[in-house]
A and B are shown apart, each in its own frame.
Chain A
């Protein structure tokens, strides 16, 4: 992965504590599969306050896994792919489709960037499966929040707060996740639409239908919806049959190989070229349509709609086109987070700030050891 600038790699918790104590500012990272979330301008650019990057990849491994509890606990630096394999052996999985698994994403990076894929639609995202977290604060205190059981409402929900916190509220070192049994089979149906409006209408009907679909994604350039059905194969086949019947010849069930390729391309954000700047934009079906309209004639901006309309991925082919995206998102009151790309800012579009942002950062990081979430702070 990207080894520039220098990344510190503690091999014990004591090492980590020493690094935190020994630097004025630190920024925890994982395997840097989403470098956009930890931009580090060069010293040459005049930024002498650059934080020390601390990668947790050497603090990895599963700590406990009890399949009958539907929970596992693992170090933050553990690669998601390792977790996926261990769970698979017991017919379990993380239903939210963690992103960039093949690319080497870690659990810590997945939580910090809130990286969920198409499966987020059915049972929830990172926030909904994270039960407990161990966090080291800037003053070297170890925080253990949440509980290692699937149901808990004691105390403030700090595990949820750190989802999406981009390593700016503390160094996450351990997590307990809830897992589910893997559905016995999956079937993917592809539906070709004439327009985005038609696609959104169809997707909304399907999302509310009795079928309880597992995932609904939309490849914008091809105007093609993919529905994923999960469950016993005979019932998947019947539901797929009904979807085909309703699609007047514009749909077909795609082969396992093709569907694996499709869902992998979303999960690995490889539906676009490796050089593209990839931005996550939370949307609704309505705001997606506005975005699609705004970028209809812009060949530098590719789009993929995930989670039945809730998540638009923008793939931007050139740095100058980023300016258009920034402007458009702002005009549409949308905000984006850069996952990948050679840019110095994480945030695009609307910035909505409150006093409480500052107070929460202060409460979580009284030593002010971690960079601010928002650059104008």
Chain B
């Protein structure tokens, strides 16, 4: 593998790589490279040697095989919305930018599947399926810009994971070029498989195994009716208790989301979402399904919520009203930019019945460190999203914020949860992997990594601790976040 002291091999080899692609598909000028220096985790930056922009499956295979032969690291990238630095380039490697691989290759309403290229935008799949009454369920908040390839690599989640699962639960098969250059097809068009589930293993492998070329996804019938309720509470504890009551009732809501006072304040300032004034917490509960079923279940839900000590209950009267309730929630993260110039978001998971305890601990840590923390979380599945606010212009503030983030992750591990529910480990949380998994398990994961990528060229430096991280830069909103195009889940 080339080092910073030995640039001769890559540059001469780069000429060969360049010769494989027309000028419009290969870039190595600083101006082009700069655009790929970081993803949505703007704290980290690295300038790659070159960018390859494939326009066909064969282009991707050629690029990966060239990397395999020359042992040059590569990072495959979609829209660069990773919140864990998953698509951060490697300084001595190349970026394979997949945005032009954006075709939906087939959509089969009879078997309810679609085969898509990795650069297809998440929401485009649902748009294409819409006329058949179908949709693609995984809905990360960045779904209007993030790509299916990135979703597969990081097993992205969304607001509906308790009921519908994450990306991997909706990926039935894929064709991929592995880091060895081998082209494989895992799974297929059927919901069922025989033999080990390699498709499931590939999902969430954070680009360390290779690059997905074609992805077969499952489509579901669009829910006919929604029943969305916004509930205001005087304490976070009361909102948490309400979640427990909903779960105990036997209902299976599509979404159960909570925002605390600071997050509400931010959302209110940003989009005037009209959440109940003076709420210490709001809960959003959404039921979905056939109208007959919702008609029954909403009576049960409304009765139940009326007994949870809420001081305000607002039921969405139509789809417009539903969207306005969701607008506050969906905008919460970028809205926090109004409260603080910089912030870190974590996505640790705790068992649902320890949510209250986890939030109390976060509050205590916030008090002790004097660092403000806003909380937005997927309460149904225990997935926290503490937003740790800081000012990057103040010396040492970023480090202190990261320290607090680390304490929160350790708390999640200690409670029997996970360091990441849906953002992935990436570069950001890799030092916590050995705390979550013991040595034999880490060793096995490393062996699996080597099986797919013996030369460690596919997205090196992610998931496993070890390599030096690229220089930390100032935090700040991703340009797309500033523009309100994407938001952090």
Q: Which residues of A contact B (CB under 8 A)?
A: 66-71, 91, 114, 116, 120-121, 123-125, 127-128, 137, 141-145, 147-166, 169, 180-182, 184, 200, 204, 207-212, 231-232, 234-235, 238-239, 280, 282-286, 307, 309-311, 335-337, 347, 352, 354-356, 359-360, 362-364, 366, 373
Q: Among A128, A145, A152, A169, which residue has its beta carbon within 8 angstroms of that of B349?
A: A152
10 other A-B residue contacts (CB within 8 Å) besides A157-B201, A161-B196, A210-B224: A143-B440, A145-B444, A145-B445, A149-B416, A150-B381, A152-B421, A153-B420, A210-B133, A356-B178, A356-B184
Cβ contact within 8 Å between B250 and A307: no
Q: Among A142, A150, A309, A335, which residue has its beta carbon within 8 angstroms of that of B194?
A: A335
Cβ contact within 8 Å between B132 and A208: yes
How many residues on the B side are at the interface (Cβ–Cβ under 8 A)?
95
CA distance A22 to B161 in the complex (A): 44
Cβ contact within 8 Å between B451 and A238: no
Residue of B nearest to A116 (CB): B192
Cβ contact within 8 Å between B184 and A153: no
**Chain B hits for A153, CB < 8 A:** 154-157, 166, 204, 418, 420-425
Query: Is B7 interfacial (CB-CB < 8 Å)?
Result: no
Cβ contact within 8 Å between B195 and A164: yes
Q: Which of B141-168 contact A (CB under 8 A)?
A: 154-157, 161-166, 168
Stretch at the interface among B46-54, B292-300, B306-314, B393-401: B292-300
Residue of B nearest to A128 (CB): B169
**Chain A hits for B357, CB < 8 A:** none
Residue of B nearest to A242 (CB): B292
Cβ contact within 8 Å between A232 and B293: yes
Residue of A nearest to B222 (CB): A210
Q: Among A128, A162, A204, A208, which residue has its beta carbon within 8 angstroms of that of B165?
A: A128
Sorted from nearest, which 10 A-B pairs have the closest CB atoms? A160-B200, A235-B292, A359-B451, A310-B191, A282-B190, A363-B447, A232-B296, A152-B418, A210-B224, A337-B194
Query: Is B38 interfacial (CB-CB < 8 Å)?
Result: no
- A153-B421, A161-B200 known; A142 vs B440 contact (CB < 8 Å): yes
**Chain B hits for A158, CB < 8 A:** 201, 444-445, 448
Cβ contact within 8 Å between A155 and B436: yes
Cβ contact within 8 Å between B162 and A235: no
Query: Is B319 interfacial (CB-CB < 8 Å)?
Result: no
Q: Among A127, A155, A164, A286, which residue has its beta carbon within 8 angstroms of that of B437?
A: A155
**Chain B hits for A347, CB < 8 A:** 194
CA distance A127 to B419 in the complex (A): 21
**Smallest Cβ distance from A169 to chain B, in angstroms?**
7
Query: Is B441 interfacial (CB-CB < 8 Å)?
Result: yes
**Smallest Cβ distance from A333 to chain B, in angstroms?**
10
**Chain B hits for A157, CB < 8 A:** 155, 168, 200-201, 203-205
Residue of B nearest to A170 (CB): B444
Cβ contact within 8 Å between B444 and A163: no
**Smallest Cβ distance from B363 to chain A, in angstroms?**
21
Q: Which residues of B contact A (CB under 8 A)?
A: 109-112, 132-134, 154-157, 161-166, 168-169, 178, 180, 182, 184-185, 188-201, 203-205, 221-224, 244, 247-248, 250-252, 289-293, 295-297, 349-353, 378, 381-383, 416-425, 429, 433, 436-438, 440-441, 443-445, 447-452, 463
**Chain B hits for A207, CB < 8 A:** 112, 221
CA distance A161 to B202 in the complex (A): 9
Residue of B nearest to A95 (CB): B252
Cβ contact within 8 Å between A69 and B351: yes
Cβ contact within 8 Å between B165 and A161: no
Q: Does more than half of chain A's interface fall in helix, strand or loop, or is it mixed?
A: mixed
- A116-B192, A145-B437, A212-B221 known; A151 vs B157 contact (CB < 8 Å): yes
15 pairs, A vs B, C-beta closer than 8 Å: A116-B192, A127-B197, A141-B440, A143-B441, A149-B418, A156-B449, A157-B155, A157-B200, A159-B200, A161-B198, A169-B196, A208-B132, A336-B194, A356-B451, A356-B452
**Smallest Cβ distance from A180 to chain B, in angstroms?**
6
- A282-B188, A364-B444 known; A149 vs B349 contact (CB < 8 Å): yes
CA distance A207 to B178 in the complex (A): 35
CA distance A142 to B443 in the complex (A): 11
**Chain B hits for A364, CB < 8 A:** 444, 447-448
**Smallest Cβ distance from A182 to chain B, in angstroms?**
7
CA distance A127 to B173 in the complex (A): 13
Cβ contact within 8 Å between B296 and A234: yes
CA distance A208 to B113 in the complex (A): 11
**Smallest Cβ distance from B406 to chain A, in angstroms?**
15
**Chain A hits for B161, CB < 8 A:** 150-151
Q: Among B162, B205, B441, B449, which residue has its beta carbon within 8 angstroms of that of A144?
A: B441
Cβ contact within 8 Å between B196 and A91: no
Q: Among B169, B192, B221, which residue has its beta carbon within 8 angstroms of that of A208?
A: B221
CA distance A181 to B197 in the complex (A): 26
Cβ contact within 8 Å between B110 and A285: yes
**Smallest Cβ distance from A211 to chain B, in angstroms?**
6
Cβ contact within 8 Å between A151 and B204: no
Residue of A nearest to B299 (CB): A232
**Smallest Cβ distance from B302 to chain A, in angstroms?**
14
CA distance A158 to B178 in the complex (A): 18
CA distance A121 to B192 in the complex (A): 10
Cβ contact within 8 Å between A149 and B191: no
CA distance A352 to B155 in the complex (A): 26
**Chain B hits for A235, CB < 8 A:** 290, 292-293, 295-296
Residue of B nearest to A348 (CB): B194
